[in-house]
C-alpha cells in the first residue's frame, strides 16, 4: 500500500525540514533494512515550490500499515520528533474510502464512475533515486496550473482513480474528466510514437496547411452535425461540445487529410496560395501575373503546397530532365519529325490561345492521319518534363509562345541525341 501526505509549510519550517529531509533521504538503505521486517518498504520526502508557498510531500510504501504504525510509534527506535509527527498523520489517513469522480465518455451525459478502494493497486510515485514518475508529475502539474477539465484517451480510464487520489492528497480540486475513443491508423491499430504517428512538423514539411490539419484533427471523434466538414477555427470553438463526441474509435486517414488540404487550397485567395507554395517551389515561381494564372489552373489538381510549388516552378524554368517512363512510352523514332511539324504549325496560329492551339494540333493530326494523342503526350512531356497535369493547351497558352516553342525545340534535340 502507498500513502502520501502533503502539508503546507509555515514560515521558519522550510530550513528545519530541509535538514531533516536530507538526513532521511540519505539513509534510505538504513531505513529499509531497519523497518523491512515491520512491513515498511520505502519512504521519501520532497519539497514542492507551489505558487502559494512550499509544500512538504511525504510518501511511504508498506505491505502492512498496522505493523508500520507500531514500528514508527516505538519510542525505542531512533526516529526524531518531526519524523514521528509526519508519519503519525500519514498512517492515520483513511485508506478504505471509495474513489469517486465525474467523467464524460462515449458521447453520453456526465456519468458517475466508481472504483472501490481495494481495486486501486499500489503504484510508485517516485523512484528510489528520487525521480518522480508520470502519475505524480501530471497531477502536481495540473494542480499548479489550476486545470479544471482533462480530456484524454479512454486508455487512461484506469489511471483516473489514482489521479483522483493524488489530487485529493494535494488538496487541489479534482478536475472534470472525459475519456475519448482512441485514434487508430487505417490498419485499425492504435497510433503511437513508435507506430504510425507523425509530428506536426512532418505534416508541415509535406505541404499540409495548419488550418487544414486543425480542422482534420477536430473531426476525429467529433462532429458539428449536418455533414459539415470544412470549419473555421472560430466555428470549431463556438460549436464544440462533448455531447457530439462519438463513441467509436476514429481513424486517422492520410488520404482524407489530403482531401481536406485540397479543399482549403481551392478556397484560398490566389495571392496567398502563391506565397504558401513559394517555399516548396524548387525552381522558384514565375512573375506575378503568370504565377496567379498558374495557381488558378492547378489549384483543383494540387493537394499540397509541395504539389502547387512544383506546378509553379514548371513555368519558371525549362525542364532539365524528362520522365523516363514517359520517354519509353511516348517517344518513337518518328516523334522528333512529328514535333518539328507541330512547332511549325504552332508558329502559324493567329492567336496564342488554348482554343487556337488545340485546333492547330488536331488539324495537324488529321493531316498526318494519326490520333491527336500521338502528338499530345510527347508535347506535354517536352514542355513540362512529366506526363500528367493540367489541360495541355491551357499549359501551352500560359507558357507563352516563345517559351513553349523553345522547350519543344530543346526536346526534339534531346530525342535526336539519344
- CATH at residue 252: 1.10.1160.10
- Round the average pLDDT of the chain to a whole number and report it: 80
Q: Where is average pLDDT lowest: 3-12, 168-177, 269-278, 288-297?
A: 3-12
Average pLDDT on 194-220 reads 87
Confidence of residue 41 (pLDDT cuts 50, 70, 90): very low
Has residue 237 been placed in a domain? yes
The residue among 390, 280, 414, 393 whose CA lies nearest residue 339 is 414
Q: Where is average pLDDT lowest: 112-121, 172-181, 297-306, 355-364?
A: 112-121
Q: Is 193 in the active site?
A: yes
Under 8 Å between Cβ of 134 and 71: no
Task: Give 55-104 pLDDT, tens digit per residue.
Answer: 555 555 555 555 555 555 554 444 444 454 544 444 444 333 444 444 43
Expressed as residue numbers, the domain containing 335 is 319-418
* Same domain assignment for residues 287 and 221: no
Task: Give 319-372 pLDDT, tens digit per residue.
Answer: 999 999 999 999 999 999 999 999 999 999 999 999 999 999 999 999 999 999
pLDDT at site 362: 97
The CATH number assigned to the domain holding 160 equals 3.40.50.620
Q: Which residue has the higher pLDDT, 70 or 396?
A: 396
* Same domain assignment for residues 303 and 285: yes
Residue 49: other Cβ atoms inside 10 A: 8
Count structural domains, the chain. Answer: 5
**Domain final position from 74, 95, 116:** 95
Task: Give 126-156 pLDDT, tens digit per residue.
Answer: 888 888 889 989 998 998 898 999 988 888 8
Average pLDDT on 164-171 reads 83
Under 8 Å between Cβ of 94 and 117: no
* Entry pTM: 0.67
* Annotated catalytic residue within 10, 52, 193, 418: 193
Top mean pLDDT of 85-99, 145-159, 228-242, 399-413 is at: 399-413
Has residue 192 been placed in a domain? no
DSSP assignment of 264-330: HHHHS-HHHHHHHHGGG-TT----HHHHHHHHHHHTTT--SHHHHHHHHHTTTS--SS--HHHHHHH
* Same domain assignment for residues 285 and 325: no
Amino acid at each position: 500500500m502507498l500513502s502520501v501526505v502533503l502539508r503546507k509549510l509555515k514560515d521558519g519550517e522550510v530550513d528545519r525540514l530541509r535538514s531533516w529531509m536530507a538526513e532521511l533521504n540519505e539513509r534510505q538503505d538504513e531505513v529499509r533494512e531497519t523497518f523491512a521486517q515491520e512491513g515498511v518498504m520505502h519512504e521519501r520526502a520532497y519539497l514542492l515550490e507551489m505558487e502559494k508557498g512550499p509544500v512538504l510531500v511525504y510518501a511511504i510504501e508498506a505491505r502492512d500499515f498496522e505493523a508500520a504504525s507500531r514500528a514508527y510509534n516505538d519510542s525505542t527506535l531512533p526516529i526524531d520528533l518531526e519524523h514521528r509527527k509526519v508519519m503519525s498523520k500519514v498512517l492515520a489517513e483513511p485508506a478504505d474510502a471509495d474513489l469517486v469522480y465525474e467523467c464524460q465518455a462515449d458521447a453520453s451525459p456526465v456519468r458517475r464512475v466508481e472504483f472501490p478502494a481495494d481495486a486501486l493497486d499500489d503504484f510508485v510515485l517516485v523512484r528510489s533515486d528520487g525521480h518522480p514518475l508520470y502519475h505524480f508529475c501530471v497531477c502536481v502539474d495540473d494542480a499548479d496550473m489550476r486545470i479544471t477539465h482533462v480530456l484524454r484517451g479512454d486508455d487512461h480510464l484506469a489511471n483516473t482513480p489514482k489521479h483522483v487520489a493524488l489530487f485529493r492528497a494535494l488538496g487541489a480540486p479534482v478536475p472534470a474528466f472525459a475519456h475519448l475513443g482512441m485514434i487508430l491508423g487505417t490498419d485499425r491499430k492504435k497510433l503511437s510514437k513508435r507506430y504510425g504517428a507523425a509530428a506536426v512538423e512532418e505534416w508541415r514539411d509535406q505541404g499540409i496547411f495548419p488550418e487544414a490539419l486543425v480542422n482534420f484533427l477536430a473531426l476525429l471523434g467529433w462532429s458539428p452535425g449536418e455533414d459539415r466538414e470544412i470549419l473555421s477555427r472560430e466555428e470549431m470553438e463556438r460549436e464544440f461540445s462533448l455531447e457530439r463526441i462519438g463513441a467509436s474509435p476514429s481513424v486517422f486517414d492520410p488520404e482524407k487529410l489530403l482531401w481536406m488540404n485540397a479543399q482549403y487550397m481551392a478556397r484560398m485567395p490566389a495571392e496567398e496560395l502563391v506565397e504558401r507554395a513559394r517555399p516548396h517551389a524548387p525552381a522558384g515561381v514565375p512573375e506575378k501575373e503568370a504565377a496567379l494564372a498558374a495557381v488558378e489552373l492547378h489549384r483543383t489538381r494540387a493537394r499540397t503546397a509541395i504539389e502547387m510549388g512544383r506546378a509553379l516552378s514548371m513555368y519558371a524554368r525549362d525542364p532539365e530532365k524528362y520522365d523516363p517512363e514517359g520517354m519509353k512510352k511516348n517517344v518513337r523514332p518518328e516523334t522528333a519529325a512529328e514535333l518539328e511539324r507541330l512547332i511549325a504549325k504552332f508558329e502559324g496560329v493567329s492567336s496564342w490561345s488554348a482554343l487556337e492551339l488545340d485546333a492547330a494540333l488536331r488539324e495537324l493530326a488529321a493531316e498526318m492521319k494519326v490520333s491527336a494523342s500521338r502528338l499530345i503526350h510527347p508535347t506535354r512531356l517536352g514542355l513540362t518534363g512529366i506526363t500528367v497535369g493540367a489541360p495541355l493547351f491551357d499549359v501551352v497558352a500560359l507558357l507563352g509562345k516563345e517559351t513553349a516553342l523553345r522547350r519543344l525545340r530543346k526536346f526534339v534535340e534531346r530525342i535526336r541525341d539519344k
